[in-house]
Structure 1
Amino acid sequence: MRKSLDENKPIFLQIKEQLEDSIIDGNMKAGERVPSTNEFAAYYKINPATAAKGINELVSESILFKRRGVGMFVTEDAKEILIKKYKKSFYNNYVLPLKNEARKLRINENELMEMVKREDNQ
């Protein structure tokens, strides 16, 4: 877990994103127990309901599941679901704007691909 939270972003989203990143990076694996809402609350000195909101969103997205009386755990498909979600976000947030800007600058597809492949600092 990160030591501090960003004041400019809702806390529940930061907790959700921390868990997502841990799953994608492989630091948290399928079947592994995630920190409880009370553990998050104690660590960050926040209301447990705030932590629960982020965790519950992951449950609704089939990233986590609850074992009654034991805790929340990573689902078997969590990593694949998250990678698919992040790829879609990457496309919408980076690729589409890049293509639109290239179109404005009259950069054709071949030129754009060459730029993407280029490894120098030109």
Structure 2
Amino acid sequence: MAFNNDKAIYLQIADRLSDEILAGVYKAFDRIPSVREYAATLGVNANTAVKAYDQLAQEGIIFNKRGLGYFVAEDAQRHIKQTRRQTFLKTVLPEFARQMKLLDISWEELKEAVASVQ
């Protein structure tokens, strides 16, 4: 995984695991890879992966069954979507709209561009 400097690595790992949950790689109550397995897969220190798992557990996205590992929470997808939607609407969209206005991008151009991505 290529990491960027804009965000702490453990948060990028938490985002990646959240993306995998949204994509259905891991469904509700599925066991996810152990901290060590996931750290090895991503080529990071296990302590960094622990921080990511702790973050997701605090958010209620995953939970730990002692001695068995981490599992996806029942409403993890809903929670991730809700949180990300709020972030998008409050942070990303205002800047996106500002850039559209500065660059004279019409809503029609935007719709065409979005349609070509799908």
Q: TM-score, normalised by structure 2?
A: 0.77
Aligned length: 114
Matching residue's letter, 2:2 = L
Structure 1 residue 13, shift from structure 2 partner: 1.6
Structure 1 residue 27 corresponds to structure 2 residue 25: yes
Paired with 2:83 and 2:57, the residues of 1 have a C-alpha distance of: 15
The share of aligned pairs that are identical, in percent, is 34
| Alpha carbons 1:65, 1:73 under 8 Å: kept | yes
Superposed displacement of residue 18, structure 1: 1.0
Would you say the 8 A contact 1:5–1:14 is kept in 2?
Answer: no
Structure-1 residue corresponding to 2:9:
11
* SS of the residue 2:74 aligns to: coil
For structure 1, which runs of at least 5 residues remain unmatched after alignment? Answer: none
Question: How far, CA to CA, are the matches of 1:57 and 1:94 in structure 2?
Answer: 22
Structure 2 residue ranges without an equivalent (≥5): none
Describe the shift of the 1:71–1:114 C-alpha distance in structure 2 as closer, same or farther (beyond 3 A).
same
- The residue number in structure 2 matching 1:78 is 76
Which of structures 1 and 2 has the bigger CA Rg? Answer: 1
Task: Let me know the Cα RMSD of the aligned residues.
Answer: 2.8
TM normalised by structure 1 equals: 0.75
* 1:43-54 alignment, distance < 5 Å: 43-54=41-52
